Amino acid sequence: MRLLIIGSLAGQIGAASRIAIQRGAKVLQAEGIAQAMEVMRSGQGADLVMVDVAFDIEQLLAEMKAERIHLPVVACGISTDSRAAVAAIKAGAKEYIPLPPDAALIAAVLEAVAAEQDTLVYQDPATDRVLQMAKKVAPSPASILIIGESGTGKELIAKFLHRNSPRKDKPFVAVNCAAIPGELLESELFGHEKGAFTGAVARRIGKFEEATAGTLLLDEISEMDIRLQAKLLRAIQEREIVRIGSNAPVKIDTRILATSNRNMEEFVKSGKFREDLYFRLNVVKLVMPPLRDRPKDIDVLAGHFARICAEENGIPVRPVSPRAMAALKAYKWPGNVRELENCMHRAVLLATGDEIDTDAIMLTDDMYAAGGSGAAASAAGLVGRTVADVERDLIIDTLKHTLGNRTHAAKILGISIRTLRNKLNAYVQEGLAVPAPGVGETA
The pLDDT tens digits of the residues spanning 106-159 come to 777 776 665 554 668 889 999 999 999 999 999 999 999 999 999 999 999 999
What's the CATH number where 321 sits? Answer: 1.10.8.60
Q: Look at residue 204 and tell me if it is in a domain.
A: yes
Per-residue confidence (pLDDT) for residue 255, from 0 to 100: 96
What's the CATH number where 42 sits? Answer: 3.40.50.2300
State which of 45, 80, 115 marks the end of a domain. 115
Of 85-94, 228-237, 434-443, the range with the lowest mean pLDDT is 434-443
Per-residue confidence (pLDDT) for residue 225, from 0 to 100: 92
Per-residue confidence (pLDDT) for residue 149, from 0 to 100: 93
Full-model pTM: 0.66
Beta bridge partners of 52: 76
User: In terms of domains, do 190 and 228 share one?
Assistant: yes
User: In terms of domains, do 20 and 152 share one?
Assistant: no
Q: Look at residue 134 and tell me if it is in a domain.
A: yes
Nearest in space to 87 (alpha carbons), one of 52, 120, 113: 52
Q: Look at residue 248 and tell me if it is in a domain.
A: yes
Better-scored residue on pLDDT, 249 or 385: 249
326 CB-contact burial (10 Å; exposed 0-12 / middle 13-18 / buried 19+): exposed
State which of 241, 271, 287 marks the end of a domain. 287
How many Å apart are CA 157 and CA 151, to the nearest integer? 12
User: In terms of domains, do 230 and 297 share one?
Assistant: no
> 92 lies in which domain range?
2-115
Q: Look at residue 165 and tell me if it is in a domain.
A: yes
User: In terms of domains, do 302 and 421 share one?
Assistant: yes
User: In terms of domains, do 110 and 160 share one?
Assistant: no
Rounded alpha-carbon distances, angstroms, from residue 253 to 17, 53, 239, 263, 392: 30, 38, 7, 29, 48
User: In terms of domains, do 230 and 374 share one?
Assistant: no
Residue-wise pLDDT for 34-53, tens only, equals: 999 988 887 677 888 989 88
Q: Look at residue 436 and tell me if it is in a domain.
A: no
Per-residue confidence (pLDDT) for residue 325, from 0 to 100: 93
User: In terms of domains, do 70 and 109 share one?
Assistant: yes
Better-scored residue on pLDDT, 372 or 442: 442
Percentage of the chain exceeding pLDDT 70: 90
Residue-wise pLDDT for 395-434, tens only, equals: 888 887 777 888 878 877 878 888 888 889 888 888 888 8
User: In terms of domains, do 172 and 247 share one?
Assistant: yes
User: In terms of domains, do 140 and 25 share one?
Assistant: no
Per-residue confidence (pLDDT) for residue 294, from 0 to 100: 94
Count of domains forming the chain: 3
Report the chain's C-alpha Rg in angstroms.
23
User: In terms of domains, do 185 and 68 share one?
Assistant: no
How many Å apart are CA 391 and CA 403, to the nearest integer? 18
What's the CATH number where 257 sits? Answer: 3.40.50.300
User: In terms of domains, do 57 and 173 share one?
Assistant: no
State which of 71, 87, 115 marks the end of a domain. 115
Q: Look at residue 435 and tell me if it is in a domain.
A: no
User: In terms of domains, do 272 and 305 share one?
Assistant: no
Q: Look at residue 207 and tell me if it is in a domain.
A: yes
Nearest in space to 76 (alpha carbons), one of 155, 125, 12: 12
Average pLDDT of the chain to the nearest whole number: 84
Per-residue confidence (pLDDT) for residue 101, from 0 to 100: 74
